[in-house]
Amino acid sequence: MAHTKPTYLNFDDKNYAWKPDIDYRVEPFTYRVGKGEQGVLICEPYKTEIGQYWRFKTKEIADKSSKKIYALFMKYVKDDDFVGADMARKYLQMGYTRARRYANYKGGKKYDANNNYAMLEKGTGDLEKAASADIFTNIGSWLKRMNYTPNAKRIGKMKGVKKENLPHKLCVTCGRPFTWRKKWEKVWQEVKYCSEKCKRQKTK
């Protein structure tokens, strides 16, 4: 019987939309919502901020973890940090999918690397992980209750974002911080100077 090999075998990181060297808090426009949990283990500083709390070894640990990440999610929403909110959502979702995999397969391994990546037998996993997975599924109803959906349009548009929460950079000429402006919406990644004056002074 033919089988599909795991997608990570031909993972193309060059063309992957999520990059490890981007600070997504500084450059939120480069973030893409994508499908499912895409980019969740890559996008900094959120990967570090949220990932440190992401645990599902036992039901109690999963309970603590999901509550902490949910609190982070709420904080990001409050701060108009929609990339953070979307990343927290992905971690919560992944709490379910990963714990389920450990519940179904011994060691969470779905494919046998020593046998041409054949699918391993299901039902060999740790049943306690099923309880962990159930805890993370609650996030679905939490998000429904607060009517949250990841909104790719809102991410990057900075609509309604408080000034202090807007991205900022340091000017290459004068070294002072400057804040994102609407006119830089499409070119923010390339912006280096706070003003025309500083841009002119670069050659001096």
Cβ-based neighbour number of residue 179 at 10 Å: 13
Tokens of 108: 């969470």
CB-wise, 152 or 174, nearer to Zn ion?
174
Q: Which of 41, 74, 131, 171 binds Zn ion (CB under 5 A)?
A: 171
CB of 191 to Zn ion, least distance (A): 11
Q: Closer to Zn ion at the Cβ: 21 or 190?
A: 190
Residue 131 or 198: the one with the smaller Cβ distance to Zn ion is 198
Taking the least distance from each CB to Zn ion, the nearer of 191 and 198 is 198
28: three-class secondary structure by DSSP: helix
Binding test (CB under 5 A) with Zn ion, winner from 32, 37, 173, 184: 173
The DSSP secondary structure of 122-176, one letter per residue, reads: SS-S-THHHHHHHHHHHHHHHHHHTT----TTTTTT-TT--GGGS-EEE-TTT--
Element (H, E) at 179: strand 177-179
Rounded distance, CA 50 to CA 76, Å? 11
Residues near Zn ion (CB under 5 A), total: 5
- Does 174 sit near Zn ion (CB under 5 A)? yes
What is the smallest separation between the CB atom of 162 and Zn ion, expressed in angstroms?
Answer: 23
Q: Does 77 contact Zn ion by CB under 5 A?
A: no
The footprint of Zn ion on residues 86-145 (CB under 5 A) is: none
Q: Select from 154, 164, 178 the least CA-distant residue to 79.
A: 164
Rounded Cα distance between 33 and 70, Å, is: 18
Query: Which CB, 129 or 169, lies closer to Zn ion?
Result: 169
Does 198 bind Zn ion (CB under 5 A)? Our answer is yes
Look-up: residue for tokens 């990001």? Answer: 76
- Closest CB 198 distance from Zn ion, rounded Å: 3
Least distance in angstroms from the C-beta of 16 to Zn ion? 34
Interface residues with Zn ion (CB under 5 A) are: 171, 173-174, 194, 198
